[in-house]
Amino acid sequence: MTNDPILAMVDITKTFPGVKALTDVNLTVERGEVHAICGENGAGKSTLMKVLSGVYPHGSYEGEIVFEGKPANFSGIRDSERAGIVIIHQELALSPFLSIAENIFLGNEQQRAGRIDWNATNLKAAELLRRVGLAESPVTKITDLGVGKQQLVEIAKALSKEVKVLILDEPTAALNDTDSAHLLGLIDGLRGHGITSIIISHKLNEIKAIADRVTVIRDGRTIETLDLHADEISEERIIRGMVGRDLESRFPEREATIGEEVLRIEDWTVHHPLEHSRIVVDHANLYVRAGEVVGIAGLMGAGRTELAMSVFGHSYGRDISGRLYKNGQPIQASTVKQAIAHGIAYATEDRKRYGLNLIDDIKRNVSGSALGKLARWGHVDANAETVVANGYRKSMRIKAPDVGVITGKLSGGNQQKVVLSKWMFTDPDVLILDEPTRGIDVGAKYEIYTIINTMAAQGKAIIVISSELPELLGICDRIYALSAGRVTGEVDVATAQPEKLMQYMTQVKE
Amino acid sequence: MSASTQTLTDDTPVVPPKPEGNGAGLGAFLSGRLRQVGIFLALIAIVILFQVLTGGTLLTPRNVTSIIGQNAYVLILAIGMVMIIIAGHIDLSVGSVVAFVGAISGILIVQWGWPWWIGVIAAILIGGLVGAWQGFWIAYVGIPAFIVTLAGMLTFRGLTQMILHNVPITPFPDAYVAIGSGFLPDLGGGTSTFEPLTVILGVVATIGLVGSQFRERAKRVKLGLEDEPRSWFLSQAIFTAVFILLITFTLASYRGTPIVLVILAALILIYSTVMHQFVFGRHIYARGGNLHAAQLSGVDTKKVDFLLFVNMGLLAGIAGIAFTARSNSALPGAGTGFELDAIAAAFIGGAAVTGGVGTVTGAIIGGLIMGVLNNGMSLLGLGTEVQSFIKGFVLLLAVAFDIFNKRRAANASK
């Protein structure tokens, strides 16, 4: 490897209100290499790439970016694109009802005297499609393409902009094996054309296959950069970098009293709601007992949320098959109402979109799932409602002067406490908590853990889905690992090794 | 991963905790209710303005009575409309449904000779069926309400013209006509300065309303839940009393209580209560505020949508009867443009286009603002073209005020 860095990010620190997302991160990328970045969900990879591509403009972060030997102060994504840095996000940014060619030249229309030159547009697009190995006509609509081909169109679009550094965020997360292989081959080929690629991926086998070097990020800091050619770097070696953090006293002590089995999920299979043939959850089996906290670990796209939501009244997916048992008895829960009636509660990973009515106040959000308990003949006792909400405000320590405060004005931690209050008010036997501490600062996390412990002590069966392994190891009794929709392993936390768990999580179907 | 950083950036800052108890002054409390108070003040300002401009004609007993008669049916529609808008939908068909129900009642009562009250009930139920038809497509098939009710607007206008063969049906029995333009019996025999029944009703209504406000407050105080400053509560109570009594004595000095006002008042009372205190109302706000969150809370949002449109159909039926009765004829072109008046009333009254926000009383006040504007400008001899121009402007201003207010609140919390 020649020592000719095209890009250096020096001591990058990025702070959000209440949270430090990146601390003194350093990243050096050599010209013409494929550089992988890996780390757990929430480690700060995407934030770093957003800093690089100008999504977070110069001035909103500390530190320096040096691009082609000159300091780069990008004020926006157009700025970085002009310099030759193009990012392809996980959620593709294509306009579905426009043609491939129109998408490639969107915002960069091929025009002559103010009129679009369709011949030039389509000819150039065809040439770009040839380069990325996509055998489609440039006038094909995006909506007629599969995700894999759309990904290639994104790359063609990047090539049309004279890209020097191509950033790919989880490019293969939504692709099948054939499409993944083709895409990786393409990235490999671009290297020969002097294009540098930065690839964010969870799939260690892919990183091993095409990357030259890998930088590991953890908790918003750079841990190490490994040269995949120099030494014999194993996947285990990378995993150690990703998880190797000590479990300090970030978790409250708990004495677990575990009782009878409360919920059992058998042979649970769920198909994607739109792409019918895609299996999102694949014959999953798991159970949870009273007073037990069970974790579900898995990387992005493993099917954790999909599993939880499909169990919770079939709120996700189609053609759901499998069996649910509550206290040993088979139950039907194909609507949310039935699920709640069976004592199942699901606190979503995305409070703002799925959890709260942000324009309404605390008390009405708290009572929202069990309004019937406060009503007689459909008439809601507003005073009783306020009393109930006030009770939760105190016991959950929601920081608000009264329960008439609009939930949209609360901090993430307090919003989460409102969501938990809402579900506690339904008096559930099983609580499924999806990313209960996402977007919450450290102090509030501790409070949420304490609440979870209290719930477990009350004999509730608790399932926690989390992207943070230390969190699962810190609060759970048992952890299931999920990979590509399948339960790939189960570990007892008392004897668990994080590396073993990460191996289950990255296990690919043979 | 990207989702998690997104959550961080979006995170709204914590509100600086307000001092507990009654530390927050009346000023701060009022500014939190700027919209509610503002719309009411706007109505009063408009009333005073036209009272002056018309040289006192606006508030003569005769004219007040006629404002009520002219606007009652739009106000009835506005009740249903604001509920639909709170849920995040819209209904463009109500004008045509008004005409359709009027035509049905004409056929049943005038042509087929049904007793008037059976005809009225049947016609209103048919309004409900129309609502169920549209609700089915919206809630269970998933077609946007805008499209379904646009189709309904055309379909039911066409149906009305077909069943009427484009010829008005008239005249209706007296009892039917009274629904739109009649009065409660005059207990004073037409000789008293103030008609006694109206005065009795007005006083009873005042005592009932203000009394229940005091009872509710006493309950909240006992539970330690009261958060309204006392002065605010008292001024509200006094205002309610003065407002109702003023209208009472104005009406009593002319011909007494219009029957349609009794219907309207009952509907306002029922629907305000439903929206505030009943599970159904809560589900409407929840559905409009965040559809996904409502669904994941176990709210059957499809059923809510369906029932909302059934309800709108029934209210359009009642409005249709009121309008037909007032004109004493079922007209093929009845109700044209009513949907827009009802929608404007809801928005002037503080409903949000994005759903989740709005009140029945707000929509009624919004409707009254439009009604007073119409009436006042007519009295001044301004043509419909000027009226339309001004009304458009008022709607725009009201919503702009909302947005300005929201931005101010957002900045204040930063």
Does A386 reach chain B within 8 Å, measured CB to CB? yes
Q: Where are the domains of chain B?
A: 60-182+259-414, 183-257
Number of neighbouring beta carbons within 10 Å of residue B330: 31
Q: How far is B10 from chain A (nearest CA, A)?
A: 9
Chain A and chain B share a number of CB contacts under 8 A equal to 157
**pLDDT of B29 above 70:** no
Task: Tell me the percentage of chain B whose pLDDT exceeds 90.
Answer: 69
Chain B residues near residue A12 by CB distance under 8 angstroms: none
Paired tokens of A479: 């952890």
Residue A441 — very low, low, confident or very high, per pLDDT cuts 50/70/90? low
Residue A452: predicted pLDDT: 94
Q: Do A401 and B300 touch (CB under 8 A)?
A: no
Q: A394-408, B102-116, B316-330: lowest mean pLDDT where? A: A394-408
pLDDT digits (tens, 9 = 90+) for A491-504: 998 887 888 888 88
What residues 35-54 of chain B have any CB closer than 8 A to a CB of chain A?
Answer: none
Instruction: Determine the residue among B35, B297, B300 to mutate to test chain A binding: the one whose Cβ has the most chain A Cβ atoms within 10 Å.
Output: B297
Residue B191 — very low, low, confident or very high, per pLDDT cuts 50/70/90? confident
Residue B39: predicted pLDDT: 85
Residue A326 — very low, low, confident or very high, per pLDDT cuts 50/70/90? very high
Q: Do A21 and B12 touch (CB under 8 A)?
A: no
Residue A18: predicted pLDDT: 60
- Contact of A414 with A392, CB cutoff 8 Å: no
User: Which whole number is the average pLDDT over A242-264?
Assistant: 78
CA–CA distance, A485 with A472 (Å, rounded to integer): 19
- Contact of B157 with B96, CB cutoff 8 Å: yes
Task: Report which of A59, A77, A52 is spatially closest to residue A158, judged by C-alpha positions.
Answer: A77
Average pLDDT over chain B reads 88
User: Which whole number is the average pLDDT over B33-47?
Assistant: 83
Chain B residues near residue A435 by CB distance under 8 angstroms: 4
List Cβ neighbours of A435 (8 Å cut-off, separation of 6 or more).
A349, A465, A466, A467, B4
Residue A181: predicted pLDDT: 85
The larger pLDDT score, comparing residue A23 to residue A1, is at: A23
Residue A1 — very low, low, confident or very high, per pLDDT cuts 50/70/90? very low
Does B278 reach chain A within 8 Å, measured CB to CB? yes
**pLDDT of B18 above 70:** no
CA–CA distance, B80 with B137 (Å, rounded to integer): 18
- Contact of A46 with A199, CB cutoff 8 Å: no
**pLDDT of A479 above 70:** yes
Residue A253 — very low, low, confident or very high, per pLDDT cuts 50/70/90? confident
The larger pLDDT score, comparing residue B402 to residue A125, is at: A125
User: Which whole number is the average pLDDT over B53-80?
Assistant: 94
CA–CA distance, B274 with A448 (Å, rounded to integer): 36
Residue B265 — very low, low, confident or very high, per pLDDT cuts 50/70/90? very high
Residue B409 — very low, low, confident or very high, per pLDDT cuts 50/70/90? low
Residue B291: predicted pLDDT: 93
Long-range contacts from A179-182, C-beta under 8 angstroms, 24+ separation: A179/A146, A179/A147, A179/A148, A179/A149, A179/A151, A180/A148, A180/A206, A182/A133, A182/A148, A182/A152
**pLDDT of B4 above 50:** no
**pLDDT of B414 above 60:** no
Residue A11: predicted pLDDT: 93
**pLDDT of B1 above 50:** no
User: Which whole number is the average pLDDT over A140-165?
Assistant: 88
The larger pLDDT score, comparing residue B44 to residue A249, is at: B44
Does A389 reach chain B within 8 Å, measured CB to CB? no
Task: Tell me the percentage of chain B whose pLDDT exceeds 70.
Answer: 90
CA gyration radius for chain B? 23
Helix axes B116-135, B174-181, angle to 10 degrees: 60
Q: How far is B82 from chain A (nearest CA, A)?
A: 17
Q: A83-87, A254-258, B33-37, B65-69: lowest mean pLDDT where? A: B33-37
pLDDT digits (tens, 9 = 90+) for B84-106: 999 999 999 999 999 999 999 99
Q: Ranked by mean pLDDT, which of A201-210, B14-23, B174-183 comes out on top?
A: B174-183
List Cβ neighbours of A301 (8 Å cut-off, separation of 6 or more).
A170, A173, A174, A484
- Contact of A436 with A416, CB cutoff 8 Å: yes
Q: Which of B9, B277, B299 sits opposite A382 (nearest CB)?
A: B277
Residue B384 — very low, low, confident or very high, per pLDDT cuts 50/70/90? confident
- As a 3-state breakdown, chain A gives helix, strand, coil percent values, each rounded to 5, of 35, 30, 35
Q: Ranked by mean pLDDT, which of A108-122, A230-244, A344-358 comes out on top?
A: A344-358
Does this model's pTM top 0.90? My answer is: no
pLDDT digits (tens, 9 = 90+) for A42-89: 678 888 988 998 888 888 899 999 999 899 889 888 889 889 999 988
Secondary structure E strands in B128-263? none
Instruction: Determine the residue among B273, B275, B296, B406 to mutate to test chain A binding: the one whose Cβ has the most chain A Cβ atoms within 10 Å.
Output: B296
Residue B412 — very low, low, confident or very high, per pLDDT cuts 50/70/90? low
Does B18 reach chain A within 8 Å, measured CB to CB? yes
Task: Report which of A384, A421, A389 is spatially closest to residue A404, judged by C-alpha positions.
Answer: A389
User: Which whole number is the average pLDDT over B154-169?
Assistant: 96
Residue A270: predicted pLDDT: 94
Residue B15: predicted pLDDT: 39
By DSSP bridging, strand A375-376 and strand A379-380 are antiparallel
Chain A residues near residue B220 by CB distance under 8 angstroms: 383
- Contact of B36 with B362, CB cutoff 8 Å: yes
Residue B186: predicted pLDDT: 85
The larger pLDDT score, comparing residue A439 to residue B147, is at: B147
**pLDDT of B12 above 70:** no
User: Which whole number is the average pLDDT over A441-462?
Assistant: 88
Q: Rounded to the nearest 5°, which phi and psi values hold at A460?
A: -75, 150
Task: Report which of B409, B314, B401 is spatially closest to residue B366, judged by C-alpha positions.
Answer: B401
Domains of chain A: 1-84+164-170+196-245 (3.40.50.300), 253-343+429-510 (3.40.50.300), 359-427 (no CATH)
User: Which whole number is the average pLDDT over B166-173?
Assistant: 94
- Contact of B286 with B293, CB cutoff 8 Å: yes
Residue B17: predicted pLDDT: 38
pLDDT digits (tens, 9 = 90+) for A178-203: 788 888 888 988 888 889 999 988 77
Does B411 reach chain A within 8 Å, measured CB to CB? no
Chain B residues near residue A359 by CB distance under 8 angstroms: 289-290, 356-357
Residue A434: predicted pLDDT: 93
